[in-house]
């Protein structure tokens, strides 16, 4: 199943103004029929200049497919998910979801104008091994929120997160910022992985510590 097109913006759908979610992906598809949702406008008018919200999520995923792509990397048709009454994207599937770099969440067609979703840009509960790498997450109620101990292996590396009403990335151990714990023995979404620490700062040379063998994104 394909909704929209990754390369042809004229094939995009305007999915806005609905009484619940704009798109709800549920059930179990046949093998080899993993859904893709690319290049659409979800929660805005056709020109992408004003909110035309669906009252709940822009996209709700409860899908049992093992591979689901929303806004593929490298797609030339951008996908706007903005202005909706709750989160832009809510993933409540235990399966792998790839949320790629052609998604612009909370902004208009110019990729700048604030048209945030009322809830989080992306809310995840229970997914494993998903990737969250949209181009922009801005002006939403929150940035990326991950809840539930069963949420694990979720790579979060959006291109630009700014202007949201809550922390950029919130792993819900406690709501909001979770301080590092010695030895990183706590549990929770993404194991409540400790964030990197800077140990001293002098000029533009920055040393620090992080989990063993981890990448540190700056």
Partner 1 sequence: MQVLADPTTGIWSATLPGGLTAWDVTLIASEVPSPGNTSEMSPHYTAPLYQVFLPLVLRNDPSPGRDPHFAQPRPPGCRRPW
In the complex, which residues of this chain contact partner 1 (CB under 8 A)? 20, 55-57, 85-87, 118-120, 123, 125, 129, 131, 141-142, 145, 147-148, 152-157, 164-178, 188, 190-191, 193-198, 201, 203-218
**Nearer residue to partner 1 within complex by CB, 71 or 143:** 143
- CB 78, CB 110: distance < 8 Å: no
**Nearer residue to partner 1 within complex by CB, 108 or 142:** 142
**Nearer residue to partner 1 within complex by CB, 4 or 134:** 134
Measured from the CB of residue 9, what is the shortest distance to partner 1 in angstroms? 30
**Nearer residue to partner 1 within complex by CB, 9 or 24:** 24
Measured from the CB of residue 147, what is the shortest distance to partner 1 in angstroms? 4
Measured from the CB of residue 72, what is the shortest distance to partner 1 in angstroms? 19
Q: Which long-range contacts (CB under 8 A, 24 or more apart) does 24-30 make?
A: 24/57, 24/59, 24/60, 24/62, 25/59, 25/60, 25/61, 25/62, 25/63, 25/68, 26/60, 26/62, 26/63, 27/63, 27/64, 28/63, 28/64, 28/65, 29/1, 29/63, 29/64, 29/65
The dihedral region occupied by 144, where left means phi > 0, alpha psi between -120 and 50, and beta the remainder, is beta
Measured from the CB of residue 85, what is the shortest distance to partner 1 in angstroms? 6
């Amino acid at each position: 199943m394909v909704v929209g097109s990754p390369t042809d913006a004229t094939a995009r759908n305007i999915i806005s103004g609905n009484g619940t979610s704009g798109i709800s992906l549920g059930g179990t598809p046949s093998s080899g029929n993993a859904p893709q949702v690319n290049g659409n406008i979800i929660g805005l008018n056709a020109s992408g200049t004003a909110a035309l919200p669906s009252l709940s999520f822009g996209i709700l995923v409860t899908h049992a497919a093992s591979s689901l792509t929303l806004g593929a990397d490298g797609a030339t048709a951008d996908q706007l998910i903005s202005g909706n009454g709750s989160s832009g994207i809510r993933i409540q599937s235990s399966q792998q979801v790839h949320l790629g770099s052609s998604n612009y969440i909370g902004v208009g067609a110019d990729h700048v104008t604030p048209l945030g979703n009322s809830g989080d840009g992306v809310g995840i509960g229970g997914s494993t091994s998903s990737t969250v790498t949209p181009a922009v997450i801005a002006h939403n109620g929150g940035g990326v929120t991950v809840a539930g101990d069963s949420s694990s292996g979720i790579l979060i590396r959006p291109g630009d997160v700014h202007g949201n009403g809550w922390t950029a990335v919130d792993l819900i151990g406690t709501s909001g910022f979770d301080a590092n714990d010695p030895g990183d023995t706590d549990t929770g979404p993404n194991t409540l992985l400790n964030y990197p620490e800077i140990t001293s700062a002098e000029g533009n040379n920055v040393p620090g510590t992080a989990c063993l063998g981890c990448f540190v994104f700056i």
